[in-house]
Amino acid sequence: MNTLIKSATIVDSKSDFHNEKVDILIERGRISKISKRITNQNNYREIRLDNLHVSRGWFDSSVSFGEPGFEERETISNGLKTAARSGFTAVALNSNTHPVVDSNPDITFIQSKSAGHATNLYPIGALTRAGNGVDLAELFDMQSAGAVAFYDYKQPIENPNLLKIALQYASNFNGLVLSFPQENKISGLGVVNEHINSTKLGLKGNPALAEELQVARDLFLLEYTEGKLHIPTISTAKSVQLIREAKSKKMDVTCSVAIHNLVLTDDELADFNTNFKVLPPLRTNEDLEALIEGLKDGTIDMVTSDHNPIDIEGKKVEFEYAKYGTIGLESAFGALQTVFTTKKAIALLTKGKERFGIELNPINEGERAELTLFNPDVNYNFTSSDILSKSNNSIFLGHRLKGKVYGIVANNKISLSNE
């Protein structure tokens, strides 16, 4: 793939051309030249777009597609197309499937289904067999096949000894263990944040304590085992504080936050719209502000769309019975820019790769071309026409967002939203 990108402003602090408007020549998938003006001597394809900005390719550490088993929600092929046109050159795919991905052949299958796409797919294997929380899955075999981490998606590890053993075992091959932060005996049948709004609406509450107890427990286990832990999608102020303290002790822990938990609170629940039923639940403004501060000071390592397509049968029911989850790839950039500057938003979207063992590619001559193309200055209302996924369960429908994605150049391919 050979192409010439014209008049693009580079947003990449690791690039020699950061904040400069330049032309970028890509030949055979690599950046061969960056200059103020490059003549298209070989008649390569040219990319010229309004207010074009280019950054290193974005990464999402928590994406679900459904295949195998839930293809009615999303397929791997369309999911990767959606990711590409939402600006993501790499995604870590959860084992949120039926059956769950818990063996070497399963990882190989997932990778084979992703071949030929612009976006790279990195499988996350289940931590336990069948995701049942009882016995460890074949962790080393899955990592040998290409798994980048191990996680029972949205399923807490209730047995602390099992997590202890997982952390100890995975440390032998530098494996990354993920543990969902919820104590089920505390959360009970709660479906929304336990606070004033849950009482007003008559909905069962899931208290912040349920998350914080689990985070505290997992950090004690991490300190004991000296393992390698990632805590996905934290949502409370106390969780941020606990992880901040753990990092001050030099413990090997990272964490993420879902973008919707940075933008929305449980005030959105007033009309019982099931698109707002997510796990962890939308919390209070106090929690939201603490999460933002955690990103600013580095306590929280990365953001995620926590993209989880759910078909209409799973959402168009009473709130109590609806499935948890929202799609988020398409709205990730636009929502993030309602909270942070473009520079900070891009920094957050490009973080996390190193933790998952994924190659970093700054925008410099000689580097592999892994680029996201976008216009940061477009304000718009997010509607169903902006959805590329098979499922339409977006938490941001009707919300005002800022920033449009053009697509990506990666994997020796071009994927643009207007094609």
pLDDT (tens digit per residue) in 169-184: 999 999 999 999 999 9
Average pLDDT over residues 66-94: 98
The whole-chain average pLDDT of the chain stands at 97
Domain 57-356 class, CATH top level: alpha beta
Average pLDDT over residues 146-162: 98
Q: What region, left, alpha or beta, does residue 407 occupy, with left being phi > 0 and alpha being psi -120 to 50 degrees?
A: left
Residues 232 and 153: their CA atoms lie apart, in Å, by 9
Cβ-contact 360, 56 below 8 angstroms: yes
Q: Residue count of the chain, please give it.
A: 419
Residues 337 and 334: their CA atoms lie apart, in Å, by 5
Choosing from 16, 306, 311, 377, the catalytic residue is 306
Average pLDDT over residues 238-259: 98
**pLDDT band at residue 185, thresholds of 50, 70 and 90?**
very high
Residue type present at position 363: I
Residues 6+ apart with CB under 8 A from 32: 25, 26, 365, 366
- Say whether 287 is catalytic: no
Residue type present at position 128: T
Query: Please, what is the angle between helix 208-225 and helix 237-248, to 10°?
Result: 10
Q: Supply angle C-alpha 268, 185, 231, rounded to 5.
A: 65
Residues 203 and 282: their CA atoms lie apart, in Å, by 13
Task: Provide the pLDDT for residue 403.
Answer: 98
The answer on pLDDT for 419 being more than 90 is no
The answer on pLDDT for 188 being more than 90 is yes
The answer on pLDDT for 1 being more than 90 is no
HSE value, Cβ hemisphere, 13 Å, CA-based, for 83: 37
Q: Write down the pTM of the prediction.
A: 0.97
Pick the closest to residue 183 from 159, 153, 162 (CA basis): 159
Q: Report the sign of the C-alpha dihedral through residues 277, 292, 359, 174, in that order.
A: negative
**DSSP letter for each residue of 316-328:** SS-GGGSPP-BB-
Average pLDDT over residues 204-214: 98
What is the tens place of the pLDDT at every residue in 362-377? 999 999 999 999 999 9
The answer on pLDDT for 339 being more than 80 is yes
The answer on pLDDT for 274 being more than 80 is yes
The answer on pLDDT for 315 being more than 80 is yes
What is the tens place of the pLDDT at every residue in 288-302? 999 999 999 999 999
Cβ-contact 103, 143 below 8 angstroms: no
The answer on pLDDT for 14 being more than 90 is yes
The answer on pLDDT for 37 being more than 90 is yes
**pLDDT band at residue 418, thresholds of 50, 70 and 90?**
confident
**DSSP letter for each residue of 89-133:** EEEEEP--SSS---SHHHHHHHHHHTTT-SSEEEEEE-SBGGG-S
Strand stretches in 151-210, DSSP E: 177-178, 192-193, 205-206
